[in-house]
């Protein structure tokens, strides 16, 4: 069914790097959500009223809030597709993340209202009229919601769309919530125990949890979460495919929304290489990565001495000292300046976030080991924070 809908409504569906194609996916997912959730709302509301069940009515209004969320998804994808302008030179892609956050807000608010209604039902219980029609409606609802979860998860993963993945999580929680309502209805009929209000509370808690999870999922890229390690590794490997580039460091990835990623990094080039040749290599590398990963990229050249024996010996010495402290510590941009009284060892030291040893203690250990080799050696480090 998912592939059929994609084939019917989205031309060139595999070209997901195209922002217009991405927008069409968002509109399709939102449209499917609106239709399915409105149908479920109507039939559940009728069923809940007929059997006087607050848990079924609560589940119905949960579906209504999901329909509203689908409308927000469509709006979010359309706004995200607005081109860059003077005030927003990196585009409006983060509207997609904001729409996911608004959806999460609606989910949480719905849960709070459901919780209040269910507590009222516990305090003032009323007789539930068992109905085979209600059972059929609830089973049908679970099947539809399960399919919707798979539908949104498949498209969400394909596009790496946080709003769709949040919707998929919500749909799966709805399956559990509706299943609880179904079990409660059957228990009430078989054992003549009215647990409708308690099931309503359970449904509300499931919905609340789904809302918090959806909020967290969409907040992370807005707050500036660490980039995908696989993407980082892929960029590094692409750069190092050129034999002229000896190393990569200071890699930064800025996410301004899907399809609007900006990458910057430093590439180490032999100092003796012709400047024009090095510039040509960097330009070709930038063009290759931009074309393959649909991102903007800027590469800074760092000249590295490869034929100076003194520099290479001191670099090897420093490498042994730093790796002796921890294999997680790395350094780059190593160079030296010599004078009559001192030799400066200049380098950038990479320390992971949350590293177990304090910066000053690391530098103290390095300095002590360097001084053992030659008291003329002075370290001049620059601390770089890295994600591991």
3-state secondary structure 109-165: HHHHHHHHHHHHHHHCCCCCCCCHHHHHHHHHHHHHHHHHHHHHHHHHHHHCCHHHH
Relative to beta strand 343-352, strand 330-338 is antiparallel
Find, among 335, 332, 360, the residue nearest to 345 by Cα: 335
Q: Which of 285, 293, 273, 338 is nearest to 16 (CA)?
A: 293
User: Which residue from 217, 223, 91 is spatially nearest to 164, judged by alpha carbons?
Assistant: 217
CA distance 376 to 356: 30
The pLDDT of residue 35 is above 80 = yes
- pLDDT at residue number 116: 84
Confidence of residue 373 (pLDDT cuts 50, 70, 90): very high
* Long-range CB contacts for residues 10-19, cutoff 8 Å, separation at least 24: 16/158, 16/159, 17/259, 17/294, 19/80, 19/81, 19/259
pLDDT, average across residues 207-230: 82
- Per the prediction, the chain carries an average pLDDT of 86
Q: What is the pLDDT of residues 240-268, one digit of tens each?
A: 998 899 999 989 998 887 768 899 999 99
Beta pairing partners, 336: 345
Q: Does residue 314 register a pLDDT over 90?
A: yes
Whether 38 and 67 have beta carbons less than 8 Å apart is answered as yes
**Global pTM exceeds 0.75:** no
- Using 50, 70 and 90 to split pLDDT, how confident is the model at 130? low
C-alpha to C-alpha distance for 151 and 70, rounded to whole angstroms: 13
Is residue 289 within 8 Å of residue 282, measured between CB atoms? no
Q: How far is residue 156's CA from residue 166's CA, in Å, rounded to a whole number?
A: 9
Is there a common fold for 2-223 and 309-386?
no
Residue 368: how many CA atoms within 13 Å on its side-chain side? 8
CATH number for the region 2-223 comes to 1.20.1510.10
Q: How confident is the model at residue 191 (pLDDT cuts 50, 70, 90)?
A: confident
Q: Is residue 18 predicted with pLDDT exceeding 80?
A: no
Residue 335 has pLDDT above 80, yes or no: yes
DSSP, collapsed to helix, strand or coil, labels residue 254 as strand
Q: Which two tokens stand for residue 362?
A: 């690391």
Separation between Cα atoms, residue 346 and residue 350, nearest integer Å:
13
CA distance 20 to 257: 14
* Residue 129 banded pLDDT, cuts 50, 70, 90: low
pLDDT over 80 (residue 122): yes
Residue pLDDT, tens place only, 280-301: 999 999 999 998 888 899 999 9
3-state secondary structure of 313: helix
Q: For residue 31, give the nearest of 90, 62, 91, 75 by alpha carbon.
A: 75
Q: What is the mean pLDDT of residues 338-366?
A: 92
Q: What CATH topology corresponds to 229-304?
A: Alpha-Beta Plaits (3.30.70)
Residue 25, both tokens: 């996916």
What are the start-end ranges of the H helices in 19-88? 19-51, 54-80
Answer whether residue 377 shows pLDDT above 90: yes
pLDDT at 25 over 80: yes
Higher pLDDT, 382 or 243: 382
Burial 71-106 (b: 16+ CB within 10 A, else e): ebbbbbbbbbbeeeeeeeeebbbbbbbbbbbbbbeb
* Contact in structure between 152 and 173 (CB atoms under 8 Å): no
Torsion from C-alpha of 208, 211, 213, 218, nearest 10 degrees: -160
- Determine the average pLDDT of the residues in 81-100: 83
DSSP 261: E
| Residue whose structure tokens are 């030799």 | 343
Domain layout of the chain by residue ranges: 2-223, 229-304, 309-386
Cα angle 126, 130, 136; round to 5: 130
Task: Assign domain 309-386 to its CATH superfamily.
Answer: Cation efflux protein, cytoplasmic domain (3.30.70.1350)
The four Cα atoms 104, 387, 292, 298 give a dihedral, to 10 degrees, of 110
Helix axes 229-240, 275-293, angle to 10 degrees: 140
**Residues with Cβ < 8 Å from 303, sequence gap 6 or more?**
268, 269, 270, 271, 273
pLDDT exceeds 90 at position 91: no
pLDDT band at 150 (very low <50, low <70, confident <90, very high): very high
Tokens of 323: 């790796």
């Amino acid at each position: 069914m998912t592939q059929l809908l994609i084939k019917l409504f989205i031309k060139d569906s595999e070209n997901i790097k195209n922002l217009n194609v991405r927008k069409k996916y968002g509109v399709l997912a939102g449209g499917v959500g609106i239709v399915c959730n409105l149908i479920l709302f109507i039939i559940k509301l009728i069923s809940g009223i007929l059997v006087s069940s607050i848990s079924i009515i609560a589940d119905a209004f949960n579906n209504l809030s999901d329909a509203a969320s689908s409308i927000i998804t469509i709006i979010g994808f359309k706004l995200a597709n607005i081109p860059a302008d003077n005030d927003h030179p990196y585009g409006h892609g983060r509207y997609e993340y904001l729409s996911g956050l608004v959806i999460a807000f609606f989910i949480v608010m719905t849960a709070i209202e459901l919780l209040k209604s269910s507590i009222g039902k516990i305090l003032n219980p009323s007789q539930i009229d068992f109905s085979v029609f209600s059972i059929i409606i609830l089973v049908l609802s679970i099947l539809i919601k399960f399919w919707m979860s798979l539908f949104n998860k498949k498209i969400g993963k394909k596009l790496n769309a946080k709003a769709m993945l949040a919707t998929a999580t919500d749909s799966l929680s709805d399956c559990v919530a509706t299943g609880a309502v179904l079990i409660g209805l059957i228990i009430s009929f078989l054992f003549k125990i009215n647990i409708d209000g308690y099931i309503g509370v359970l449904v509300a808690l499931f919905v609340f949890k789904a809302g918090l999870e959806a909020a967290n999922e969409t907040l992370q890229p807005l707050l500036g979460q660490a980039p995908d390690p696989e993407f980082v590794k892929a960029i590094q490997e692409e750069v190092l495919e050129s034999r002229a580039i000896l190393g990569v460091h200071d890699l930064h990835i800025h996410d301004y929304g899907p399809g609007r990623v900006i990458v910057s990094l430093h590439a180490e080039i032999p100092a003796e290489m012709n400047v024009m040749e090095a510039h040509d290599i960097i330009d070709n590398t930038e063009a290759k990565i931009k074309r393959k990963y649909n991102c903007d990229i800027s590469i800074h050249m760092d000249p590295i001495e490869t034929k100076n024996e003194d520099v290479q010996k001191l670099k090897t010495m420093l490498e042994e000292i730093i790796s002796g402290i921890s294999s997680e510590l790395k350094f780059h941009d190593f160079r030296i300046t010599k004078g009559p009284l001192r030799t400066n060892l200049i380098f950038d030291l990479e320390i992971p976030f949350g590293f177990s040893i304090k910066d000053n203690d690391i530098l103290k250990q390095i300095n002590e080991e360097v001084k053992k080799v030659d008291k003329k050696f002075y370290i001049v480090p620059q601390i770089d924070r890295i994600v591991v």
